[in-house]
Chain A
Amino acid sequence: MNIQKRRKIESFLALSFSTAAALFGLFWLIFILSDVVIHGAAALNLDLFTKDPVPPGAEGGGLRNAFVGQLLITFFATLIGVPVGVLGGTFIAEYARGTKFARIISILSDIMVSVPSIVIGTFIYAVLVKPTGQFSGWAGAIALAVIMIPVVLRTTEDMLSLVPWTLREAAFALGAPYYKVIVQVVYRGAATGILTGILLSMARVAGETAPLLFTSFNNAFFSTNMNQPVASLTVTIFNYAMGPYETWHQQAWAASFVITIFILIITILGRLLIKWRYKK
């Protein structure tokens, strides 16, 4: 076999391997998603959203408490995490642009985004749960907010940096102070990007389980009291899936289905928004 042929075969093999790798990745994506859809859709019913859990092992009941709890926790996490993230991103992209401090915060945020979320759970446990002696919805919301802050901060920084500097100069030339320039000109230019970042960060925390295990804990009853343990979908899925009852497993699948669809829709929507806004 001559060398030309060997090189061609080698190239063909390598490209076949890369195709196989892509198929391997796609295989798992389709496998997992179809599995969740098949099991989840079969177990889905209206009771799931409108009824509270029945005693373990009994038929029927739903997860109303977990849906409401999840919404509460995510809502308050967003309420705390987003302003801090957006303002923090504003500082490093505007007032502190190009300084060493901005660089450190930016790098630290990137690291913090990937810090194991269970570590953040233990941290919040030590700060909020142990002193009060009480698992609470607030602790859960704050744990999720802590995870959100660096995500939102980095997106805000990136989006603000995309706004052309000349736009700010035009506003300065009209005599506007910097804060007015930021709020009325820069934020407006970056609004779509920042909103998308917020959406994506909500999708990210909505699926978090580990930081809620020892903060908001779980609650078998319907409760909107954020000072008490609050049920969340993800922790409920964990407990139900590990539990011995078939009805629990069914409900865990249904809850997984809802949460997966919700997160995928937000993620895809966010991607499309970014593409649409920043296409050249």
Chain B
Amino acid sequence: MKRKNPFDLSFSLLTAAASATVLLLMAGIFIILVKESSLSIEKFGIYKFITTVDWDPVKEIFGAATSIYGTFVTTLIAMLIAIPTAIGIAIFVTEAAPNFLKGPIGSAIELLAAIPSIIYGMWGLFTLAPLMSRYIEPSLQKAFGDVPVLNILFQGTPMGIDILTASLILSIMIIPFTASISRDSFNLTPAVVKESAYAMGATKWEVIKNIVLPYSKLGVFGGIALSLGRALGETMAVAFVLGNKHHITASLLDPASTITVTLANEFTEADTDLYLSSLFYLALVLFILSFVVLAVAKFFLLRAERRYSR
């Protein structure tokens, strides 16, 4: 394949330039965010910015601690709900379900990922939040109200617009990512190995626990990390039901704010340079966070791929 043909040369250069846009965009996003947030970086530094609890546009004191805390808490609770469910779903569609159900149920769960996040938000605000405040949250308060330590989590008036509702919606949104990657990894377990275990008299659960899960753990980790990255950056679904309140709270029934919610609500309202710069700084923090998490996810998935292709 010598490239003597001038058309060929120009076509290859054109395609090369197109593929380089990905590189340029990623680098560009990072550089632009650093540049735009430089004012805030100079003023607050790194450590002070992420540990300051105040977010006060009037006094021009900006700290990311409340937003970062909200991001972490909602993501953590969402992961606690989503991981067992997603792995359960993956087990169901690979091992437990009758054959005629495997495909349709798997596709149906993947449809959850196709629903736009704004729809999750709408539904959360108008349908889920009232249900949460009327039924689920009061009964949680009743159940845990007298348990020491746990009752701290359920203090306050159940309004439905709070961390718990946001986390629940977030968990529904990320279930399909972990579930479909786990399913694909489970499916790669060689049938011979599973059959050998069955021949030894192992039950279905023992095969899953001792053969399938250990064999596919890299893929499952990758799926979990991917959904973690998704959860960190989810905006609209959370923006509807979290309330955008800058504080650190132990109660799951309190409104809060995440990095994304702060950006969505305040970006167009930022009236001073420092305010806008601090918002860019928040975006930069989110970009770095999710980049690292997604890179880890990709690392696991690549290792899994290499292992299975051997």
Chain A residues with CB under 8 Å of chain B are 7-8, 10-11, 13-15, 17-22, 24-26, 28-29, 31-33, 35-36, 39, 83-92, 94-96, 101-102, 104-105, 107-112, 114-123, 125-127, 146, 149-150, 153, 172, 177-179, 182, 203, 206-210, 213-214, 217, 234, 237-238, 241-242, 249, 252-253, 256, 259-260, 263-264, 267-268, 271
Residues of chain B within 8 A of A7, CB atoms compared: 203, 206
Extra contacts, 11 of them, besides A32-B120, A153-B19 (Cβ < 8 A), are A15-B91, A15-B95, A15-B205, A18-B96, A19-B92, A86-B18, A95-B15, A96-B16, A118-B235, A179-B8, A203-B114
Residues of chain B within 8 A of A125, CB atoms compared: 267
Closest Cβ neighbor of A257 among chain B residues: B119
B200-241 with Cβ < 8 A to chain A: 203-206, 208-209, 226, 229-230, 232-236, 239-240
Known: A91-B16, A115-B291. A110 touches B298 (CB 8 A): yes
Q: How far is the CA of A179 from the CA of B117 in the complex (A)?
A: 40
B229-276 with Cβ < 8 A to chain A: 229-230, 232-236, 239-240, 260, 263-264, 267-268
Complex contact B114–A264 (CB within 8 A): yes
Complex contact B119–A36 (CB within 8 A): yes
Q: How far is the CA of A31 from the CA of B168 in the complex (A)?
A: 14
B115: Cβ under 8 A from any A Cβ: yes
B25: Cβ under 8 A from any A Cβ: yes
Closest Cβ neighbor of B10 among chain A residues: A179
Complex contact B267–A214 (CB within 8 A): yes
Complex contact A21–B85 (CB within 8 A): yes
Complex contact B291–A111 (CB within 8 A): yes
Residues of chain A within 8 A of B287, CB atoms compared: 115-116, 119
Residues of chain B within 8 A of A88, CB atoms compared: 15, 18-22
Closest Cβ neighbor of B179 among chain A residues: A25
B52: Cβ under 8 A from any A Cβ: no
Complex contact A14–B114 (CB within 8 A): no
Closest Cβ neighbor of B107 among chain A residues: A271
B255-310 with Cβ < 8 A to chain A: 260, 263-264, 267-268, 279-280, 283, 286-287, 290-291, 294-295, 298, 302
B84: Cβ under 8 A from any A Cβ: yes
B192: Cβ under 8 A from any A Cβ: no
Closest Cβ neighbor of B226 among chain A residues: A114
Residues of chain B within 8 A of A208, CB atoms compared: 116
Residues of chain A within 8 A of B205, CB atoms compared: 10-11, 13-15
Q: How far is the CA of A263 from the CA of B114 in the complex (A)?
A: 7
Complex contact A115–B290 (CB within 8 A): yes
B152: Cβ under 8 A from any A Cβ: no
B4-43 with Cβ < 8 A to chain A: 5, 7-8, 11-12, 14-23, 25-26, 28-29, 32-33, 35-36
Complex contact B264–A213 (CB within 8 A): yes
Known: A118-B263, A234-B116. A253 touches B122 (CB 8 A): yes
Residues of chain B within 8 A of A256, CB atoms compared: 118-119, 122
Tell me the smallest distance from the CB of B72 to a CB of chain A, in Å: 15
Complex contact A207–B117 (CB within 8 A): yes
A24, A32, A105, A109 interface centre (most CB from chain B within 10 Å): A32
Tell me the smallest distance from the CB of B181 to a CB of chain A, in Å: 12
What's the A-B contact tally at a CB cutoff of 8 Å? 279
Complex contact A19–B115 (CB within 8 A): no
Chain B residues with CB under 8 Å of chain A are 1, 3, 5, 7-8, 11-12, 14-23, 25-26, 28-29, 32-33, 35-36, 84-89, 91-93, 95-97, 105, 107-109, 111-112, 114-123, 125-127, 172, 175-176, 179, 203-206, 208-209, 226, 229-230, 232-236, 239-240, 260, 263-264, 267-268, 279-280, 283, 286-287, 290-291, 294-295, 298, 302
Known: A29-B109, A122-B263. A109 touches B22 (CB 8 A): yes
Known: A11-B204, A14-B205. A94 touches B119 (CB 8 A): no
Q: How far is the CA of A178 from the CA of B7 in the complex (A)?
A: 9
Closest Cβ neighbor of A91 among chain B residues: B15
Complex contact B119–A91 (CB within 8 A): no
Known: A126-B32, A241-B122. A24 touches B12 (CB 8 A): no
B88, B172, B226, B230 interface centre (most CB from chain A within 10 Å): B88
Q: How far is the CA of A108 from the CA of B291 in the complex (A)?
A: 10
Which of A118, A214, A249 makes the CB contact (< 8 A) with B233?
A: A118
Closest Cβ neighbor of B171 among chain A residues: A28
Q: How far is the CA of A237 from the CA of B287 in the complex (A)?
A: 26
Q: How far is the CA of A23 from the CA of B201 in the complex (A)?
A: 29
Residues of chain A within 8 A of B8, CB atoms compared: 177-179
Tell me the smallest distance from the CB of B20 to a CB of chain A, in Å: 8
Known: A26-B108, A209-B235, A267-B114. A122 touches B33 (CB 8 A): yes
Which of B125, B126, B280 makes the CB contact (< 8 A) with A122?
A: B280
Tell me the smallest distance from the CB of A14 to a CB of chain B, in Å: 4
Which of B109, B119, B233 makes the CB contact (< 8 A) with A114?
A: B233
Complex contact A182–B11 (CB within 8 A): yes
Closest Cβ neighbor of A21 among chain B residues: B88
Residues of chain B within 8 A of A92, CB atoms compared: 19
Which of A20, A33, A150, A179 makes the CB contact (< 8 A) with B7?
A: A179
